[in-house]
Structure 1
Amino acid sequence: MASPNMQIARNARTRVADRVTSKVTDALKSDTAFESGSLALSARIAGAAAEAVLELPAEARRTLTRRQAELVRGVRRLVETFGDERGRRKIELIVPETVERSVGEGLGPIVPEEEGKHLLNELAVARKIEDWAGTVAGASELNRDYGIPRSTLHRWQHANEVIGLLKGTKKHVFPVEQFIDGRPALGISAVIGLAGSHRTAWLWLRQANPVLGGRRPIDLLKQDRIEEVIETAQAYFDPQ
């Protein structure tokens, strides 16, 4: 026979879904984006998820915490699958009795490498690095404005702990946005390793990411949400 304490704990867990559902409903009922039906459904889903998490062993909860970005994507995909109407009317396509065969224009003649580079240069549009990378600064500016020693910056760059972008032929500049409290945000080295280059990594870090709720990965790194960003980067750069 279960002890009174065990029975109390069990009853508390069985009521957690109702409590969470009620709190979510109260929190969102003034939000005009939710209709009554969608509000009730969203609250019920939140309550069921909270109860399921509560019943997991501590180790399983820690694992989910590390993989919460993947979990959120999975929950979203599961909900979206119920949006497919089984009886939805299909678009009827009229297939002609005869089909004209076409092979297209093909790739065109192969040109020598030098000529190809010349043609690409004619099509390329020059852009300032600040146009896509944001505010950047050289080693001297970082030392003057942020007190970052050149030797420290060089060590970070050598260890791939900071994003360094080549400006011109030799000079490297560093996006200022990646720094917090005088040092690069933690997790940048992992993103560089997954992206394969500093330029690609910084382009990805600065773009709003739908998997992260429309937020930019660099902003989350600066909030110490490192594991969430790295998991998202792994799914993007190494989907295998």
Structure 2
Amino acid sequence: MNRFQIQGLKQDDFAEMVAEDVERALAHYDEAINKPTMVSVGKIAGSIASAVTLLSPKHRRAIDAIHADLPGLASKFVRALAAEAARRSEAGIAGVTNPPTTPLADVEPPSLPKSDDLESMLIEDWAGRVAGSTYLEEHLRIARSTLHRWQRRGEVIALRKGGRKHVFPLAQFVDGRP
């Protein structure tokens, strides 16, 4: 579960919201660009923003670490995207939505960490997004006493962070309950 699902915003809705903002910005600052291109650029930006929110904290930190190289990497990505679009256009499959770019057999499942890697692993890398009881009380309206009761019954997983504090993986809460 990611931040947008917690706030009731779906990934597609988030991507669409970003796309609309990008289209407005392009229309305001660059009148020479045509409408179909604006829509495409907006969809690309929205899809990328949405995909980044699904990354693990480890991968987001890795992206943050190379922020100086992002313009060059973005240019390479756009050129590769344009080449793929041209290839599909020539092949006559431009109207097909979401065709697989690689066969499913070529896709490798994410490798699980080896036992020696577990020592240095952050909680967020293993459990995804986590939150403390205050966050859950304020955003999901789950009282601390309820969390404690669920934890004693084994209905929720609480991970110790620090000396006495616990955090809860957010993926286990659906509609404000475990």
Q: TM class by shorter-chain length?
A: 0.3 to 0.5
Higher relative contact order (CA 8 A, sep 6+): 2
Return the TM-score normalized by structure 1. Answer: 0.30
